């Protein structure tokens, strides 16, 4: 019998006033219900906001080192439950165990990182024009943070939003993605055990149309942080800014890897395969376009096809690549492959659902390589949240750079080259918030800023590192005359 999970409001585990729940299914075995969660209402969300508002002043006045101690203890508690949380993540979201374990470790590291940062928050002393005056700045929390997080990194992304918000002295409410909310509730349990005061952090599961909308538009919330699709993110941005809130949105990507004629095709294919097929392609930074010089194109394609066909597909607990998270995501991926075929692309590898005992049930799709793709084809322009790499042939570096930039997104981009001049030109001219040389488009350090250009981001505030803290603080200038 699946366990029914509750919301967490004002330090207590409570059921929704709707009396309704929703099921989370195992994407590797959709007949298996992993857990039941609250199908919450707008009133449930309003109660959570009210609790955060009531708790905010006390938390803001808690010394930074004490806030940091609680965050550090929460991270340590998560570390003690790492194997359990890895299994929850695999069973709800579907990714392979090594990937899930890495993501859980990322969340642990984030809590420990921002635990230290909580002690460093302060301001700067400046020289005053007049005598007998101390002139300085101080950083203060903005207020109540509304966090709306996606299913594809269901513990890492909530951690990198929540930890800096709490470190800076904000209270917070969160609506985790309905496809995989279990690990957010585990974070909540860890914070509760660590002694986080009641009301400082509240979790409500349910639809974005009720819970998310209330968090975004409520007079009680002051900042909104959203990660998800471009269409929804743009609506969130409009709603939040119309309500006068500080907002950051991180959205989609159509991330290129440019392979130059000086690159080793085998090494380049390995980089693209890791970035394109890892996490079943369900990452906003996944490589979905390989822009390849004509001199190495054929050899690169052969190597990439070999890499795709060698991937072991099946349930994430014991296979290399797990399923897509839902039937809708699988259907969308297969539809994009069909559109690519119709527009003239060649399916060089994959292109459908795999066969075999391990994949008889579940939302599995083959790692897919598409060749003969033109830069204006649908598959080269629109985000495909699945393990699909479109290979585009170019005649020189300048054409490759143009193709890499010629999309409405600008999240992550990489170049594979042995030419230092080309690498430097790519760094200078790539229209992306994250640029990598001889490395996959996926993978982020936790202490440097993350965010995109163009339609990938609101381009307002960055996440992670010191910049992540900046979003959750506001600066006050003080003239102290004595």
Q: Which residues are catalytic?
A: 284
Rama region for 94: left / alpha / beta (φ>0; ψ in -120 to 50; rest): left
Backbone torsions φ then ψ of 160, nearest 5 degrees: -80, -10
- Most distant pair of Cα atoms in the chain: their distance: 81
- Considering only CA atoms, give the Rg of the chain: 23
Q: Are 257 and 287 in contact (CB under 8 A)?
A: yes
Q: Are 345 and 376 in contact (CB under 8 A)?
A: no
Q: Are 286 and 276 in contact (CB under 8 A)?
A: yes
Q: Can you spell out the DSSP letters for 246-288? A: EEEEE----EEEEE-TTS-HHHHHHHHHHHHHGGGG-STT-EE
Rama region for 24: left / alpha / beta (φ>0; ψ in -120 to 50; rest): beta
CA 429 to chain CA centroid, nearest Å: 25
Q: Is the dihedral of CA 56, 233, 89, 34 positive or negative?
A: positive
Which residues, including other chains, have CB under 8 Å from residue 111's CB and lie 6 or more apart? 71, 72, 74, 75, 78, 159, 163
| Token reading at 123 | 């301001």
Alpha-carbon gap, residue 40 to 20, rounded angstroms: 8
Q: Are 386 and 365 in contact (CB under 8 A)?
A: yes
Start-to-end CA distance of the chain, whole Å, equals 69
Alpha-carbon gap, residue 144 to 220, rounded angstroms: 7
Length of the chain: 482
Alpha-carbon gap, residue 147 to 150, rounded angstroms: 10
Q: Are 463 and 451 in contact (CB under 8 A)?
A: yes
Provide the β-strand partners of residue 173.
146, 202
Q: Are strands 29-38 and 21-26 parallel, antiparallel or unpaired?
A: antiparallel
| Token reading at 188 | 């909540």
Q: What CA–CA distances, in Å, run from 472 to 18, 69, 377?
A: 32, 19, 40
Alpha-carbon gap, residue 27 to 22, rounded angstroms: 15
């Amino acid at each position: 019998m699946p366990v029914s999970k509750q919301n967490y409001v004002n330090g207590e585990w409570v059921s929704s006033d709707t009396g309704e729940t929703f099921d989370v299914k195992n994407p590797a075995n959709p007949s298996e219900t992993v857990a039941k969660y609250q199908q919450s209402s707008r009133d449930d969300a309003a109660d959570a906001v009210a609790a955060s508002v009531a708790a905010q002043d006390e938390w803001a006045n808690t010394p930074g080192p004490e806030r940091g101690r609680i965050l550090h203890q929460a991270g340590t508690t998560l570390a003690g439950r790492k194997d359990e949380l890895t299994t929850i993540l695999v069973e709800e979201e579907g990714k392979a165990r090594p990937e899930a374990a890495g993501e859980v470790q990322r969340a642990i590291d984030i809590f420990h990182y921002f635990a230290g940062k909580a002690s460093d928050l302060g301001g700067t002393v400046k020289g005053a024009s007049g005598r007998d005056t101390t002139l300085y700045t101080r950083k203060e929390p903005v207020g109540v943070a509304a966090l709306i997080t996606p299913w594809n990194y269901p513990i890492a992304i909530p951690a990198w939003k929540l930890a800096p918000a709490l470190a800076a002295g904000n209270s917070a409410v969160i609506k985790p993605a309905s496809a995989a909310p279990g690990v957010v509730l585990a974070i909540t349990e860890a914070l509760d055990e660590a002694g986080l005061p009641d009301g400082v952090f509240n979790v409500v599961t349910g639809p974005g149309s009720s819970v998310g909308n209330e968090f975004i538009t409520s007079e009680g919330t002051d900042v909104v942080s959203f990660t998800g699709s471009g269409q929804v993110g743009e609506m969130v941005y409009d709603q939040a800014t119309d309500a006068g809130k500080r907002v950051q949105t991180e959205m989609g990507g159509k991330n290129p890897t440019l392979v130059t004629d000086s690159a080793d095709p085998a090494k380049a294919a390995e980089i693209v395969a890791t970035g394109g097929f890892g996490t079943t392609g369900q990452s906003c930074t996944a490589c979905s376009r390989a822009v390849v010089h004509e001199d190495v194109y054929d050899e690169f394609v052969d190597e990439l096809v070999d890499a795709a066909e060698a991937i072991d597909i099946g349930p994430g607990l014991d296979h290399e690549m797990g399923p897509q998270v839902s039937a809708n995501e699988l259907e969308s991926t297969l539809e994009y492959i069909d559109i690519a075929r119709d527009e003239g692309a060649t399916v060089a590898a994959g292109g459908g659902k795999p066969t075999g005992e391990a994949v008889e049930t579940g939302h599995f799709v083959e790692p897919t390589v598409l060749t003969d793709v033109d830069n204006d084809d649908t598959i080269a322009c629109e985000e495909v949240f699945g393990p699909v790499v479109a290979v585009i042939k170019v005649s020189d570096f300048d054409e490759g750079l143009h193709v890499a930039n010629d999309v409405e997104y600008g999240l992550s981009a990489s170049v594979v080259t042995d030419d230092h001049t080309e690498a430097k030109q790519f760094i200078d001219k790539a229209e992306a918030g994250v640029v990598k040389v001889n490395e996959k488009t996926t993978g982020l350090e936790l202490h440097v800023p993350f965010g995109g250009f163009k339609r990938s981001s609101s381009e307002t505030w960055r996440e992670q590192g010191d910049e992540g803290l900046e979003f959750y603080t506001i600066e006050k200038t003080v003239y102290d005359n004595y």
